[in-house]
Structure 1
């Protein structure tokens, strides 16, 4: 029998629940490498382990890869897209799959959605609409898009991305922690609760 939802996978699961919900979480650039708790000189500790544990939920399976150093964004996005297609091939409904990513991970999630070009997938972007996405103007978002950004952060709205895309739904909120990009380094209710509500709705 497939594993019950609520598990956290660091690799693609060997057994797929065709009736389950699956969430991919992609971390920020600083975590690339071997340290799951790297320290930024300004924003402090990025606690990848705590974020995964807080984001996990009994209503879905969470897949969170720890990317190696110098991961090439477009190559990894193709892997993410291939994993999504593998779930769909195993019987998982497109609408039961969500790509969630922060910063570089948000950009990777967008790139994966651009590869998939599926209209019912869920795309949740946390401060991910920065230079990589702005500079590659052919990249578009697809599906149901939810964007969250921090008001004190330089990385702001994803409206420019949505304007050049053909999404089926778009909602965006801003949070105000005063922590700039570091607002997403640890699980904080300001962004965690809205994400979980969106995923369950």
Structure 2
């Protein structure tokens, strides 16, 4: 079972404001990504620096997050993908490119592995970091907040936002 409330709680930090919402089942990823990009632009227009904004998603949410980064080409923000480079790196979605600072975290026993291909086709990246974890839990490694991925993600967000 995906433990969204516990994950949200574990990602909270006194160094940044966390806005997290669980999208409804069956959400169209392209529509949702455009809405998220619109929300990010509102934050920037209200005075929040783009470098202080991090968008993040897991699995299908990572696909939506990668689309959002793609739509924010004019205002790149920080992006974290958790187990996000399964179908995103396929030829079907080869036009998706990341922008700004990018962190990929993947489980070595999962099919959604390295984002190297996505990185290589994204010329507007300002940085790329990737962390592999080995819990043996495959995709389930991200179903709950475990220190193997939560700690480095929070550290990365704090570093990129300062």
- Structure with greater Cα Rg: 1
Whole-Å separation in 2 of the counterparts to 1:163 and 1:119 = 20
CA RMSD of aligned residues (A): 1.1
Distance of 2:59 and 2:154 partners within structure 1: 18
Alignment-derived partner of residue 31 in structure 2: 75
Q: Is 1:188 aligned to 2:150, yes or no?
A: no
**Pairing of 1:107-186 with structure 2 (within 5 A):** 107-118=63-74, 120-134=76-90, 135-166=92-123, 167-186=125-144
- Which runs of 5 or more structure 1 residues have no equivalent in the other structure? 1-44
Instruction: State how far apart, in whole Å, the 1-side matches of 2:70 and 2:27 are.
Output: 18
**Other structure's SS at 2:18 match:** strand
The TM-score, its normalising length taken from structure 1, stands at 0.76
Give the aligned length: 157
Q: Give how far 1:121 is off.
A: 1.1
Given that 2:79 and 2:102 are in contact with CA atoms closer than 8 Å, whether structure 1 keeps it comes out as yes
Deviation at 1:69, TM superposition (A): 2.0
Question: What is the DSSP-based 3-state SS (H/G/I as helix, E as strand, rest coil) of the residue aligned with 2:79?
Answer: strand
| Larger relative helix fraction | 2
Give, in angstroms, the shift of residue 72 of structure 1.
0.3
The CA distance in 2 between the partners of 1:100 and 1:133, in whole Å, is 17
Q: Structure 1 residue 67: deviation in Å? A: 1.0
Cα deviation for residue 105 of structure 1 reads 0.9
